[in-house]
Structure 1
Amino acid sequence: MTGQASSTSRSLPFHLKTLWLISRSDVAPVLVPHCIAGLANLQSGWVLGSNQPAADVTQLIIRLGCMAIWIWLNLLSLDLANQRLDESVEEDSINKPWRPIPAGRLSQNEARHLQMLVIPATLGFSYFAGGLQESYVMIALNWIYNDLGAANENFWLRNLMNALGFMDFIVGASVVAGGPGAVLSHSGWLWVAMMGGCIFTTISLQDLYDQEGDSLRDRKTAPLVLGDLTCRVMVSVAVLGWSLATPFYLGFTLPKLAILMLLSMTIVGRTFAFRSAASDRRTFKIWCLWIVVLYALPALPDLPTGLIL
């Protein structure tokens, strides 16, 4: 499949909109949460090591801007690698026809050429802004997930690759936000590993609303292999479990627990009560909010209990 692009006049706004459409569906689950993660880990005082360089307000703003660009560049490369595949174009024509390739804004060959530009641009940016090692790791994960087909072969492997990718985004965002010489502390690595566990055991929620397209690609996702109900039970138990475990790991406070339990109970309730593809998509958006709150926990103050009573 060659994926011929439309002959529509290609002005700068056209290209900018195309770039937006490539990453649009990953803004809520990837870009925003990992911007929050980088900022929260920077402000936590313990996720990054003691050699974290001090910064004034101007430097901090520059670092946070670099962090957002670093996340987006790596995300753009991931999206291009996935969306240019023949199976992806066929699936997107059903699930996401607005994406640039099925919509005729970009050909598969043009997407490949664009990725060939984005990868060195990402590495060059990472060399100066930080997160170079994490960008190398992301390239390797991208190759395994998309080109070697790890996304399709086995849902446990699929979930593991997603978890490793999210962990890499957390680490990269944190060190870029921290500035030159910033590294994670031992406790920071444990926290990142815990977040990886959250992703590994709950990311199958996104596969609930994509079952038609995944079935077309013969992708071995959890709902298709284990069954829809079993997948819903598995994800629900994991969401509740992590909502209890993470506040206790950080030092129990009732407000933090209450916020997480409210979100987790909403996710669980919707997962069983509303089971259409559209409803599952909305539930996944609440899951994205749940992830944002988890990522923000290291920097959240210990609010007075009376504020939630």
Structure 2
Amino acid sequence: MSRFTATTLRCALRHFETAWLFTRSDLKTTIFPVMIFTTVVSPRHNPLDLSCALCWLWFHLFQFNASNQSYSAHEDILNKPWRPVPSGRISVKDSRALRWGLMVICLGFSSLFSLDVVITSGVYTVFLIMHDDFHLSHHPIFKNLCSAGGYVTNELGSSLILSRESSLDRTSIKALFCSALVILLTIHAQDFADVNGDRRSGRRTPPIVALEGSRIYMLCALPLFSFALASFWSLGPFSTVLFVSMGSWVGIRYFLFRDEICDQSNYRLYNIWLMGVHLLPANVHFRALAW
């Protein structure tokens, strides 16, 4: 292998690693739940289309993180120092330039499928701009609204690609509505472990604005949402008890275990519960949770 080839290979591997580090922490928060949702609601499961949906989702997640992490570098020094910007792998300026380049790539990739996917990609970018450039991420309510909008557009775009349809069926629309509601009202679960960095950046997240109230809210909201969703999707008695118990345990942990390490574990458990939320529509198509 020539010196030029070896240098090129090392450079390419470094770029791939940087891209991975941008998106690493969101595999559990976005990639897994969204792909579970997409697989469950789609009537088709072609491996090639599934791979395309996964690539589409990852590139949009990469776009979001390149933008978001260019604004959060000062708080990531405390919360996530291994990310590309705080670790010095890429500058803030280059990260923001990368973000706009990824926007073009995402729109171009979406054009390979349908106009609906292109529109979905464009709407996703609008939510991203509002979240980062208009600093709505600093507001406890508008941050959740942007998060819910971005999350649902991820689910919609991936589902349109996998289903190869111009629109979704009634079950998929109901599932999107449930997902949007859950994200809107519970996604601040991610903020408890990041209080120190968020306070440093001037963000007003629920755990900062109402420390005790936000804990009590999680204690009550997760079991109530679990029961409501189990009823909405007509789960069987065993599945209902299992799902409600899972939501209740996560809510109890948020209330009882409050240090940063525990909150990181709480958020991982929340994401497992969130994957369960996205699995529930399977009961309509397959009656998989009727027992």
The aligned amino acid for 2:26 is: D
> Do the aligned residues in 1 keep the contact of 2:235 with 2:289 (CA within 8 Å)?
no
The 5 A counterparts of 1:44-59 are none
What SS does the aligned partner of 1:128 have? Answer: coil
- TM-score, scaled to structure 2: 0.91
> In structure 2, how many angstroms separate the alpha carbons of the residues matched to 1:261 and 1:72?
31
> Do the aligned residues in 2 keep the contact of 1:37 with 1:173 (CA within 8 Å)?
no
Q: Hey, what does 1:239 align to over in structure 2?
A: 222
> In structure 2, how many angstroms separate the alpha carbons of the residues matched to 1:146 and 1:80?
11
> In structure 2, how many angstroms separate the alpha carbons of the residues matched to 1:72 and 1:235?
29
Q: Does 1:139 align with 2:139?
A: no
Of 109-118 and 63-72, the range deviating more from structure 2:
109-118
> Do the aligned residues in 1 keep the contact of 2:239 with 2:290 (CA within 8 Å)?
no
TM superposition shift of 1:68: 0.5
Q: Hey, what does 1:177 align to over in structure 2?
A: 162
Q: Hey, what does 2:101 align to over in structure 1?
A: 117
Q: Does 1:203 align with 2:187?
A: yes
> In structure 1, how many angstroms separate the alpha carbons of the residues matched to 2:259 and 2:84?
26
Q: Hey, what does 1:83 align to over in structure 2?
A: 69
Superimposed CA distance per residue, residues 34-75 of structure 1 (whole angstroms, 9 cap, x where no aligned partner): 0111001114xxxxxxxxxxx6x7xx0011001101111111
> In structure 1, how many angstroms separate the alpha carbons of the residues matched to 2:10 and 2:86?
17
The aligned amino acid for 1:283 is: N
> Do the aligned residues in 2 keep the contact of 1:64 with 1:177 (CA within 8 Å)?
yes
The aligned amino acid for 1:197 is: L
> In structure 1, how many angstroms separate the alpha carbons of the residues matched to 2:39 and 2:253?
30
**Selected match of 1:149 from 113, 121, 135:** 135
TM superposition shift of 1:236: 2.4
Give the structure with the higher percent helix.
2
The aligned amino acid for 2:27 is: V
What SS does the aligned partner of 2:182 have? Answer: helix
**Selected match of 1:163 from 148, 160, 172:** 148
TM superposition shift of 1:141: 0.2
What SS does the aligned partner of 2:112 have? Answer: helix
TM-align CA RMSD: 1.7
> In structure 2, how many angstroms separate the alpha carbons of the residues matched to 1:89 and 1:231?
26
% of aligned pairs identical? 26
Q: Hey, what does 1:48 align to over in structure 2?
A: none
TM superposition shift of 1:269: 2.1
Q: Hey, what does 1:26 align to over in structure 2?
A: 26
**Selected match of 1:66 from 41, 46, 52:** 52
Q: Which of 1 and 2 has higher RCO (CA within 8 Å, sep 6+)?
A: 1
The aligned amino acid for 2:108 is: G
> In structure 1, how many angstroms separate the alpha carbons of the residues matched to 2:247 and 2:76?
30
**Selected match of 1:262 from 242, 245, 262:** 245
Q: 1:10 to 1:107 in 2, by over 3 A?
A: farther
Q: Hey, what does 1:4 align to over in structure 2?
A: none
> In structure 1, how many angstroms separate the alpha carbons of the residues matched to 2:239 and 2:107?
37
> In structure 2, how many angstroms separate the alpha carbons of the residues matched to 1:175 and 1:194?
18
What SS does the aligned partner of 1:176 have? Answer: helix
> Do the aligned residues in 1 keep the contact of 2:120 with 2:156 (CA within 8 Å)?
yes
> In structure 2, how many angstroms separate the alpha carbons of the residues matched to 1:61 and 1:182?
19
The aligned amino acid for 2:104 is: P
Gapped regions of structure 1 (runs ≥ 5): 1-8, 44-54
Gapped regions of structure 2 (runs ≥ 5): 1-8
Of 18-27 and 159-168, the range deviating more from structure 2:
159-168
> Do the aligned residues in 2 keep the contact of 1:167 with 1:192 (CA within 8 Å)?
yes
> In structure 2, how many angstroms separate the alpha carbons of the residues matched to 1:39 and 1:278?
33
> In structure 2, how many angstroms separate the alpha carbons of the residues matched to 1:27 and 1:236?
25
Superimposed CA distance per residue, residues 196-228 of structure 1 (whole angstroms, 9 cap, x where no aligned partner): 1111111111111111001001101001112x2
- TM-score, scaled to structure 1: 0.85
